[in-house]
Structure 1
């Protein structure tokens, strides 16, 4: 039986998470991969694939994790396919309800400024 996630709890901001990985390089690589695969699909009338994988491991003694992020893509070509694969790591802080961010949540709020949450 699968547990249903608590959707009322604070969540990781996925846009910020993707942009923060590898200092923005993962975001750029994903954008390029999606574009190359889409162009290959249209030009060659064959399916392509973009795969993203995250492996998350705790850094002992901290509220931080290493997020290993892998991007693999395969674009169709006239005579077959071409692709690339890249794997890198980014350290993220884990806050309340498992929210991951580049900086600790306590540093995300500015004294005297109301929170959006």
Structure 2
């Protein structure tokens, strides 16, 4: 049994999903393997609403998986996001999930691959 912030998790898998579960968190994290500005993320993830992206980034930052750097040296304000040291430990898992998805898509006759 695991407990974080008075929330209990029955196993390590459920704890992992607390951090990366949901529709967009893992997708955002894999895009942040390389540091990106907010505007770059918006362009790469057009199907994510601005509100959802902002909320997910705040949660990922709160969980310590990403860092947010604000550059105030000259207008306009620029914000960079990147995986934190803790978040970088997820890279092998994220790449594994992406690879599994490719293999599953290749084996399925119900999946259509649309180039990005």
Larger Rg computed on CA atoms: 1
Which TM bucket (shorter chain)? under 0.3
- The two structures have a TM-score, normalised by structure 2, of 0.24
- The two structures have a TM-score, normalised by structure 1, of 0.24
Structure number with the higher strand fraction is 1
Structure number with the higher helix fraction is 2
